[in-house]
Amino acid sequence: MSSQNCRTRCIVLKNTDFGESDRIVTLYSPDHGRFTAIAKGAKRSQKRFVNKLEEFSLLDVIYRPAKYNRLHFLSEAELQEAFLSLRTHWQRYCPAILACELVLRFTREHDPDSRIFTLLHWLLHSLHNGTAHLPALVFFLLHLLDACGYQPRLKHCAACSCLPGQNKQLSFMFQPGNGSLLCPRCSGTTDLSRYSLSLQSLKFLQTAQKMTINQMQRLQMPEQVASECLFVLYSYSRYLLQCDIHSWSFLVQGIKKPISKKR
Amino acid sequence: MQVVPPPLERLITDLTRLPGIGQKTASRLALYLLRRPAAEALNLSASLAELHASIQLCSTCFAFSENDPCVICSDTRRNNRLVCVVEEPGDLMVIEKTNAFRGVYHILHGVLAPMEGIGPDELKVRELFYRAESQEIEEVLVATSSTVPGEATASYLIDHLTGMPVKVTRLACGIPMGMDIKYADEHTLAKAIETRQFVKG
């Protein structure tokens, strides 16, 4: 191995065929952040890369950093975890691919954050093990926003500072434009009814915000609450990114049919 | 100063629109055509012009064909109760080369790729379900690739076809012919063991 070569642990976010036999892979690593590499001969090789560069795979890779362009050269890849059930159960595939798209869109190249890697790895692992996908996705998105510096402010009304439940309000309105809450009195004539959060959903979000990955298993979030929270967080993410999140519409189809237990 | 004659530049620009062809390859191809006899270039242009005029999608299986229904769908010797679902027309050609399949096909024209905004509505999925429900089909063989999008598409199709009056099968997954098992990856080998075949006893 040349001294120039780098070794890192990473998750495959996306892969694209390039030419007749090459593949371009986008990876997320805790040490190097998001980076893109070319795997020469990956489509034809029966030994080096076969079945390794697929989406969601956790790999140990050796690559030669790029000199003039942004594409690194992938020399070797060792498969650590494949999360096979994410491909064979389309209801698990939907949230997993949405998570990868969110990491792709929210991160910049070579801007590492080990929290994002841990969060993505945890989500893929949980989905693979049959954890209810909506609560897991809510937790992932909430903490991804936090890691990117866009933590939603859910403690009190942004205008009058009243606390949820203080004046017996049954729901609060979320403002995707600035990531904060408005109580029904302060929202006035502004039409934010689409982004309404029930008191129960708000309490779940506040609890989830304080929790660590290890504590997440304790959070028993009903599907209805998770759907409401997820829609609000999606709307906020869409506002921040100023573009469509393509995998969302496919996930919505999956929500209509609840996930089955691991077969 | 115009160094490259405009017709040659136009051809280079058009060729760069093809997949896998960059500026250098396009220039090399255009110059090659220019050096060859004019009749060869005319033949090529005639073939290109004829392409869209004479080829259409078969209304049953969605393969590219000169006639509707296509040669395979109209062949009475084939078993039209057995439908093989493939991703692309190229996959149909590969399966036909094996001479092992005597049923008919259904081409999806892609796989689910949520990140690119390709969902079931962008593929010929609804047409497959309609075919499975309304025609006398006994078996649907899902022959999408063993990649992540291919497997996810297969899972989606199998999930929806399960409630219909058809037998659903999936292309087997295992070690390739002539391969030393030492070089097989652990997941393929595990799948091969899981789906092992009964031989005798």
Q: pLDDT tens across A78-135, in order?
A: 889 989 999 999 999 999 999 999 999 999 998 999 999 999 999 999 999 988 889 9
Instruction: Read off the pLDDT band of A261 (50, 70, 90).
Output: very low
| Contact status, residue A149 vs residue A156, Cβ threshold 8 Å | no
Whether residue B117 sits in one domain with residue B155: yes
Residue found by looking up tokens 């779940």 in the block: A204
pLDDT recorded at residue B1: 62
pLDDT recorded at residue A172: 86
The mean pLDDT of B66-89, rounded to a whole number, is 94
Residue A71 pLDDT > 90: no
Whether residue B72 sits in one domain with residue B43: no
Work out the mean pLDDT of chain B and round it to a whole number.
91
User: A88 and B151: CB-CB below 8 Å?
Assistant: yes
User: A87 and B156: CB-CB below 8 Å?
Assistant: no
DSSP classification of residue B67: S
Helices (H) and strands (E) in chain B, counts: 7, 6
> Could you give the number of structural domains in chain B?
2
User: A87 and B116: CB-CB below 8 Å?
Assistant: no
pLDDT recorded at residue A2: 47
Instruction: With respect to residue B1, please indicate whether it lies within any of the assigned structural domains.
Output: no
pLDDT recorded at residue A108: 93
Instruction: With respect to residue B191, please indicate whether it lies within any of the assigned structural domains.
Output: yes
Find, among A97, A49, A55, the residue nearest to A73 by Cα: A49
Q: What is the pTM for the complete model shown?
A: 0.86
End-to-end Cα, chain A, rounded Å: 42
Selected for mutation to probe chain B from A13, A90, A243 (highest B CB count within 10 Å) is: A90
Whether residue B31 sits in one domain with residue B75: no
Whether residue B182 sits in one domain with residue B109: yes
The mean pLDDT of B160-166, rounded to a whole number, is 91
Instruction: With respect to residue B59, please indicate whether it lies within any of the assigned structural domains.
Output: no
A212: closest CA of chain B, how far (Å): 28
Whether residue B120 sits in one domain with residue B82: yes
Whether residue B68 sits in one domain with residue B50: no
Instruction: With respect to residue B30, please indicate whether it lies within any of the assigned structural domains.
Output: yes
Of B31, B54, B77, the residue that ends a domain is: B54
Give me the domains of chain A, ranges plus CATH numbers: 6-82 (2.40.50.140), 104-261 (1.20.1440.120)
List Cα–Cα distances, B77 to A69, B74, B82, B91, in angstroms. 56, 9, 12, 21
pLDDT recorded at residue A55: 93
Whether residue B33 sits in one domain with residue B87: no
pLDDT recorded at residue A192: 66
If 0-12 CB within 10 Å is exposed, 13-18 middle and 19+ buried, where does residue A225 land? buried
The mean pLDDT of B139-154, rounded to a whole number, is 94
Of B33, B54, B75, the residue that ends a domain is: B54
Instruction: Compare all CA atoms of chain A with the CA of B22 and give the residue at the minimum distance.
Output: A19
- pLDDT tens-digit readout, A3-54: 488 899 999 999 998 877 889 999 999 999 999 999 988 887 666 787 789 9
Q: Which of A11-15, A47-51, A244-248, B79-83 bottoms out in mean pLDDT, i.e. has the lowest?
A: A47-51
Q: What angle do CA A110, A251, A108 make, to 5 degrees?
A: 10
Residue A254 pLDDT > 80: no
Instruction: With respect to residue B76, please indicate whether it lies within any of the assigned structural domains.
Output: yes
If 0-12 CB within 10 Å is exposed, 13-18 middle and 19+ buried, where does residue B151 land? buried
Instruction: With respect to residue B12, please indicate whether it lies within any of the assigned structural domains.
Output: yes
Whether residue B98 sits in one domain with residue B12: no
Whether residue B185 sits in one domain with residue B141: yes
> Token digits for A108?
């910049």
| Percent of chain A topping pLDDT 70 | 90
Range(s) of the domain holding residue B131: 64-200
d(CA B76, CA B93): 19
Residue B128 pLDDT > 90: yes
User: B115 and A89: CB-CB below 8 Å?
Assistant: no
Whether residue B131 sits in one domain with residue B101: yes
pLDDT recorded at residue A260: 36
| Percent of chain B topping pLDDT 70 | 99
Whether residue B105 sits in one domain with residue B133: yes
> Strands B103-107, A196-198: parallel, antiparallel or unpaired by DSSP?
unpaired
Find, among A58, A23, A54, the residue nearest to A40 by Cα: A23
d(CA A90, CA A127): 11
Is residue A76 helix, strand or coil?
Answer: strand
pLDDT recorded at residue A185: 80
pLDDT recorded at residue B31: 95
Q: What ipTM does this complex have?
A: 0.85
| Contact status, residue A11 vs residue A19, Cβ threshold 8 Å | no
Element (H, E) at B14: helix B6-16
Instruction: With respect to residue B102, please indicate whether it lies within any of the assigned structural domains.
Output: yes
pLDDT recorded at residue A240: 95
Whether residue B105 sits in one domain with residue B140: yes
CATH number at residue B16: 1.10.8.420
The mean pLDDT of B67-88, rounded to a whole number, is 94
User: B115 and A97: CB-CB below 8 Å?
Assistant: yes
Q: Which residues pair with A14 in a beta bridge?
A: A26
Contacts of A102 (CB under 8 A, 6+ apart): A140, A141, A144, A237, A245
Find, among B113, B162, B110, the residue nearest to B140 by Cα: B162
The mean pLDDT of B175-195, rounded to a whole number, is 84
pLDDT recorded at residue B171: 92
Contacts of A249 in chain B (CB under 8 A): 114, 117, 119
